[in-house]
């Protein structure tokens, strides 16, 4: 990454799609991630936005932050709205009605709008194979309504509806593995990303938009307000989430896993947890429990990536001459 | 000239949608609406209708996909019933609030529990205040004609609102009726192409569905209300034009021997035709009785209704839904409100019956009317009468 630093202004388009003036909290990782994600794309995009922080901070009649055609309707239906737009464009183009060509529909939602209330609509849209990109900006709780737990909240995190107390360690369940759920739909492209790795994020969004069919990108978005962390640690926390294996960066292209970063040795999760108020109450044995789980999950992922690279090789060898039986 | 052919009403409704050259259909199966969307799927599969058919995973997503499609500027249709309509509920408000001209056929059916797949109007009444234009039909021909009109009304630049066409489940959807299907060229002439003024388009970005702070919300809602009220002009204009083009007349309040009648029966939906037979028989027995039917449910036809019943002494109203713990049937309740400040208003007797597919026969209507006249004379301690219940 470092070697790109000097070229940043040239590599990233100057035009803002998600313009300044919105009302996100100081140090909002999600606003940063959205800004970067849409800088990766051209202007031939329609955005369908679920209810949530990013909808609220960016739209207030009579203003808008968006320099792209943008629609918000409800909380749980964004993937369905996106499929309606995609279908409409398809048929109108076929019938010679005046719509631009190759427009990409991009649905965006938070973790609640994706892994909880919007899961059914998303599953339906992915299964039907609409040509669209779905980006989940995951800040690991319902931040817009005041930091309530979602199924994407990590184990042990204190939220307003999973508070830590004498009889509670905070969030009692493990973070729902949304990217794996997307993979299970056999869609052409699934990726995880984080604003702390901006070029990786942008490259993945670009790739997702270039692919024909449903693409799912899951973006960890640090939320200082909800994570009870310092506003100047947003980038560092994103990096720690990746370096500890809490949020591994990878992509799955046509079913083949590929790790985005080579991390020879994961940092202890403690480095990540200790910087956030939401994990402050965790005892050493709970932290150890998280550590063990993260290592198992990370290992599983590495295995899949190993298998993915093997099958690629095998296939290319098979294609070199032999006719399959 | 077109001829009447025997055809299942659902199939005819689907054919009417084909004639409108609809672009996008998003639908989910639910009895008794399924035949409509099955036939549409078939028309698309056979290339007889060039449309995108989105087989969504729920009615909530059906209406949501319709939002997206209509916002992109495509002509959009869906159909549902009962629980499906209930599941769509929050999306319906968005469709009207965002001024998206979606057309939906609703095969009216009871709401659970207990589960009933048969007809009544509890689903229709649950979406009364969603801000949609709502037309109620009572036979297959009316369903076909009004599906075509619905697109013209909803997509009219002065309106831009979604439109529901209510047709009774089974009693209409599953019966074979003699129906005239208009010719394609006639429909093409009658129905202009859909030109949504500000669609989602990267060439001219718009933001749709922003949130409204208190300083704007009331104005936004009032604008919507004015718009829905004013849509009546366009509805009337459309029905006029339809009459000129096809020779079939529709009115917000349709009258049957009601001018000068002392007793009037008010119905909505398919029972209206059975009731008319009862009216005929009673008139043959020298009863001074007539009938009115509400064709337009939203915007509510206040003036037309007041005019239609102004000389009546007794107005008997049949509802096919219960407003639980409330003043009676929802239609009766609205009619009472519409007439309350009128001088010399008729006495109103409210009946609730024909719930969950139970029939009211001609004899039944005569019986009910007799009972209604009696109640009008003697009064009743009940807010409304339940008709035909076993106690």
Digit-coded pLDDT (tens) for A24-56: 999 999 999 999 999 999 999 999 999 999 999
pLDDT of residue A4: 56
Radius of gyration of chain A (CA): 20
Q: Does A71 touch chain B (CB under 8 A)?
A: yes
Q: Residue B59: what pLDDT? A: 98
The neighbour count for residue A11, using CB atoms within 10 Å, is: 12
Q: What is the pLDDT of residue A71?
A: 98
- Measuring CA to CA, how many Å separate A267 from each of A184, A270, A271? 29, 8, 7
Any chain B CB within 8 A of the CB of A312?
A: no
- The maximal CA–CA distance of chain A, rounded, in angstroms, is 66
Of A108-117, A308-317, B248-257, least confident by mean pLDDT is A308-317
pLDDT at position B13 is: 98
Q: What is the mean pLDDT of residues A79-99?
A: 97
Instruction: Nearest by CB to B52, from A69, A81, A91: name it.
Output: A91
Q: In terms of CA atoms, which chain A residue is nearest residue B95?
A: A73
Examine the pLDDT at A320 and tell me if it is beyond 50.
no
Q: Cβ contact (<8 Å) for A81 and B64? A: yes
- The C-alpha atoms of residue A212 and residue B215 are separated, in whole angstroms, by 43
Domains of chain A: 8-318 (3.40.50.970)
Q: Cβ A120–B201 below 8 Å, yes or no?
A: no
The minimal CB distance from A74 to the residues B62, B66, B90 is found for B90
| Domains in chain B with CATH codes | 4-246 (3.40.50.970), 253-386 (3.40.50.920)
Do B289 and B370 form a contact (C-beta atoms < 8 A)?
Answer: no
Residue A323 has pLDDT above 80, yes or no: no
* A174-225 confidence digits (pLDDT tens): 999 999 999 999 999 999 999 999 999 999 999 999 999 999 999 999 999 9
Task: Specify the pLDDT at position A309.
Answer: 73
DSSP for residue A129:
T
Residue A312 has pLDDT above 70, yes or no: no
Q: Do B91 and A73 touch (CB under 8 A)?
A: yes
CA A151 → CA A107, A110, A174, B132, distances in Å?
Answer: 20, 12, 8, 36
- pLDDT at position A262 over 80: yes
Of A62, A88, A91, the CB nearest to B68: A88
Cβ-Cβ contacts under 8 Å, B65 against chain A: 80-81, 83-84, 87
Q: Chain B interface, mutation test: which of A62, A87, A96, most B Cβ atoms within 10 Å?
A: A87
pLDDT exceeds 60 at position A260: yes
**What pLDDT was estimated at residue A313?**
52
Region for residue A85 given its phi and psi (left: phi exceeds 0; alpha: psi -120 to 50; beta: otherwise): alpha
Report the gap between the CA of A8 and the closest CA in chain B (Å): 26
Instruction: Spell out which residues of chain B touch residue A109, defining contact as CB-CB under 8 Å.
Output: none
Q: Name the DSSP letter for residue A217.
A: E
Quick check: B202 and A121 CB within 8 A? Answer: no
Residue A103 C-alpha, separation from nearest chain B C-alpha, in angstroms = 8
CA distances from A15 to A20, A32, A40, A104, B155 (A): 11, 14, 11, 18, 36
Q: What is the SS3 assignment for B29?
A: coil
Does A131 contact chain B (CB < 8 Å)? no
3-state secondary structure A220-281: ECCCHHHHCCCHHHHHHHHHHHHHCCCCCCEEEECCEEEECCCCCCCCCHHHHHCCCHHHCC
pLDDT at A229 over 90: yes
B206 at interface of A, judged by CB pairs closer than 8 A: yes
Averages of pLDDT over runs of 10 residues in chain B (391 residues) are 89 98 98 98 98 98 98 98 98 98 98 98 98 98 98 98 98 98 97 97 96 96 98 98 98 98 98 98 97 98 98 98 94 98 96 97 98 97 95 83
| Contacting A residues, span 75-104, partner chain B, CB-CB under 8 Å | 76-77, 79-92, 94-95, 97, 99-100, 103
Mutate to test the interface with B, among A76, A84, A123 (most CBs of B within 10 A): A84
Is B56 touching A (CB cutoff 8 A)? yes
Tokens encoding B128: 């009364």
């Amino acid at each position: 990454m470092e070697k790109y630093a000097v070229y940043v202004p040239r590599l990233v388009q100057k035009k803002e799609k998600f313009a300044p003036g919105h009302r996100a909290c100081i140090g909002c990782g999600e606003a940063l991630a959205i800004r970067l994600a849409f800088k990766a794309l051209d202007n031939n995009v329609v955005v369908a936005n679920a209810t949530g922080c990013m909808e609220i901070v960016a739209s207030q009649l009579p203003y808008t932050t968006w320099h792209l055609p943008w629609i918000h309707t409800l909380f749980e239906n964004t993937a369905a709205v996106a499929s309606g737009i995609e279908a409409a464009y398809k048929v109108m183009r076929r019938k010679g009605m005046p719509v631009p060509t190759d427009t990409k529909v991009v649905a965006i939602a938070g973790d609640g709008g994706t892994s909880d209330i919007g899961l059914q609509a998303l599953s339906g849209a992915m299964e039907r194979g609409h040509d669209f990109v779905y980006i989940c900006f995951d800040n690991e709780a319902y931040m817009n309504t005041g930091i309530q737990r979602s199924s994407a909240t990590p184990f042990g995190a204190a939220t307003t509806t999973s508070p830590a107390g004498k009889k509670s360690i905070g969030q009692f369940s493990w973070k729902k593995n949304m990217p794996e759920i997307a993979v299970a739909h056999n869609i052409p492209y699934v990726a995880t990303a984080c604003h702390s790795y901006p070029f990786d994020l942008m490259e993945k969004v670009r790739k997702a938009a270039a692919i024909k069919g449903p693409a799912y990108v899951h973006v960890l978005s640090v939320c200082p307000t909800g994570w009870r962390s310092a506003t100047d640690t947003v980038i560092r926390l994103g990096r720690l989430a990746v370096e500890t294996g809490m949020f591994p960066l990878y992509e799955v292209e046509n079913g083949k896993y590929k790790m985005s970063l080579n991390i020879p040795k994961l940092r202890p999760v403690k480095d990540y947890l200790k910087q956030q108020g939401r994990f402050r109450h965790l005892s050493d044995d709970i932290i150890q429990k998280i550590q063990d789980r993260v290592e198992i999950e990370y290992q599983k992922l590495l295995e899949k990536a190993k298998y993915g690279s093997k099958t690629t090789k095998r296939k290319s060898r098979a294609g070199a001459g032999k006719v399959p039986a | 000239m077109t001829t009447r052919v025997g055809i299942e009403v659902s199939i005819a409704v689907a054919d009417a949608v084909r004639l409108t050259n609809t672009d996008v259909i998003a639908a989910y199966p639910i009895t008794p609406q399924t035949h409509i969307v099955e036939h549409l799927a078939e028309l698309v599969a056979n290339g007889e209708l060039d449309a995108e058919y989105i087989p969504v995973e729920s009615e909530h997503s059906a209406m949501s996909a319709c939002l997206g499609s209509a916002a992109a500027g495509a002509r959009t249709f869906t159909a549902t019933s009962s629980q499906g309509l209930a599941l769509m509920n929050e999306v319906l408000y968005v469709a009207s609030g965002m001024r998206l001209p979606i057309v939906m056929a609703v095969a009216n059916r009871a709401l659970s529990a207990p589960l009933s797949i048969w007809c009544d109007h509890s689903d229709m009444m649950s979406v009364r205040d969603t801000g949609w234009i709502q037309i109620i039909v009572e036979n297959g021909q009316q369903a076909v004609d009004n599906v075509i009109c619905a697109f013209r009304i909803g997509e009219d630049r002065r309106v831009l609102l979604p439109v529901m066409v209510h047709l009774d489940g089974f009693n209409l959807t599953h019966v074979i009726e003699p129906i005239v299907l208009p010719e394609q060229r006639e429909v093409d002439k009658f129905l202009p192409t859909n030109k949504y003024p500000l669609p989602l388009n990267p060439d001219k970005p718009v933001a749709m569905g922003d949130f409204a702070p208190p300083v704007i919300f009331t104005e936004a809602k009032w604008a919507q209300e004015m718009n829905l009220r004013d849509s009546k002009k366009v509805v009337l204009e459309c029905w006029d034009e339809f009459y000129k083009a096809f020779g079939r007349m529709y009115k917000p309040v349709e009258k049957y021997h009601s001018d000068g009648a002392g007793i009037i029966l008010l119905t909505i939906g398919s029972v209206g035709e059975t009731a008319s037979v009862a009216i005929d028989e009673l008139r043959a027995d020298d009863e001074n009785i007539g009938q009115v039917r509400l064709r337009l449910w939203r915007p509510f036809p206040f003036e037309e209704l007041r005019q239609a019943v102004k000389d009546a002494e007794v107005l008997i109203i049949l509802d096919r839904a219960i407003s639980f713990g409330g003043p009676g049937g929802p239609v009766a309740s609205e009619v009472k409100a519409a007439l309350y400040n009128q001088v010399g208003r008729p006495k109103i007797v409210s009946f609730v019956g024909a719930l969950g597919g139970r029939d009211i026969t001609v004899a039944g209507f005569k019986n009910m009317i007799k009972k209604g006249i009696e109640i009008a004379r003697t009064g009743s301690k009940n807010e409304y009468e339940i008709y035909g219940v076993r106690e």
